[in-house]
Amino acid sequence: MTDANRYVIDAPEIPAVPVRGGGRFPVRRIYCVGRNYAEHAREMGSDPDREPPFFFSKPADTVVSGGVVPYPPATGELHHEVELVIAIGKAGREIPADTALEYAYGYAVGVDLTRRDLQAAAKKKGRPWDMAKGFDRSAPLSKIVPAALIGHPADGAIRLSVNNDVKQSGDLRQMIWNTAEVIAELSRYVGLAAGDLIFSGTPSGVGPLQPGDTVRASVFGVADLEFVLTG
Ligand code: MN
């Protein structure tokens, strides 16, 4: 390598998620849909009209493959949000909804961990959500399951339990914007590329987690995820 191309510090590792059937999916960016289930919009005090979805993001290296997740600092109100996650397999921009599923390599179940107290304070002051949403290991994720194995899920139970108590129980059919529409809408704002993950929103029943809790999340027919919060 010529001197000009030499990294002056150790290059960070590319975050990656295991894939069912073998191999790893390298993560480029993580986007999240702000609210995509009417009941959850209501529980957060919003009107669930079919306004265009809005997006925020988490850093790519917030992804963690279950196991053990540390309770994050600077919060007294860590919340769970179970979500179907779309793994993008090829680049595109201004993608029409009727071809958008061609861009989905596969799917996973993820938990959009949220420092709800920081989010509420940010909302009140009109400030960004980054510190509420994008903290270290805030994106626990199952294996990614290729669409080649399971197709493109449009319905099926989406659930999350804490210590075996079911806290969130919905169905993918309740998404205000379906998978294809989410991909199409996001691609109006940013170029999507292979390696992008899109958390597609959470059903109602979000709530607090405590150190020591065991969290199990699933999307029927897609994947399961389990992690334990440590203190
Ligand atoms: Mn979410």
Residue 7 CA to ligand 1 center (angstroms) comes to: 35
Residue 4 CA to ligand 1 center (angstroms) comes to: 42
Residue 2 CA to ligand 1 center (angstroms) comes to: 44
Residue 37 domain-assigned (yes or no): yes
pLDDT at residue number 1: 59
Residue 4 domain-assigned (yes or no): no
Residue 42 domain-assigned (yes or no): yes
Strands (E) in the chain, as ranges, are 16-18, 24-26, 29-33, 55-58, 63-64, 67-70, 78-80, 82-88, 104-111, 114-115, 139-140, 145-146, 157-162, 165-171, 196-199, 207-208, 214-219, 223-230
CA–CA distance from 67 to each of 99, 132, 207 (Å)? Answer: 36, 22, 20
Residue 39 domain-assigned (yes or no): yes
- 196-210 pLDDT tens trace: 999 999 999 999 999
Residue 215 CA to ligand 1 center (angstroms) comes to: 16
Residue 5 domain-assigned (yes or no): no
pLDDT at residue number 48: 76
Residue 175 CA to ligand 1 center (angstroms) comes to: 12
The domain that holds 77 is classified in CATH as: 3.90.850.10
Residue 104 CA to ligand 1 center (angstroms) comes to: 19
Residue 95 CA to ligand 1 center (angstroms) comes to: 23
Q: Is residue 82 pLDDT above 70, yes or no?
A: yes
> 183 in helix, strand or coil?
helix
Residue 90 CA to ligand 1 center (angstroms) comes to: 24
60 or 51, which is more confident: 60
Residue 124 domain-assigned (yes or no): yes
Residue 8 domain-assigned (yes or no): no
Residue 174 CA to ligand 1 center (angstroms) comes to: 15
pLDDT at residue number 231: 86
Domain limits at 40? 14-230
Neighbours of 201 (CB within 10 A): 25
Residue 137 CA to ligand 1 center (angstroms) comes to: 14
Residue 93 CA to ligand 1 center (angstroms) comes to: 23
Residue 133 CA to ligand 1 center (angstroms) comes to: 9
Residue 7 domain-assigned (yes or no): no
Residue 91 CA to ligand 1 center (angstroms) comes to: 24
- Helix ranges (H only) for the chain are 38-43, 116-125, 130-133, 147-150, 179-186
Residue 8 CA to ligand 1 center (angstroms) comes to: 37
Residue 84 CA to ligand 1 center (angstroms) comes to: 10
- 132-186 pLDDT tens trace: 999 999 999 999 999 999 999 999 999 999 999 999 999 999 999 999 999 999 9
Instruction: Tell me how many domains the chain contains.
Output: 1
The overall average pLDDT reported for the chain is 96
- DSSP-assigned beta bridge partners for residue 64: 140
pTM score, whole prediction: 0.97
Residue 5 CA to ligand 1 center (angstroms) comes to: 39
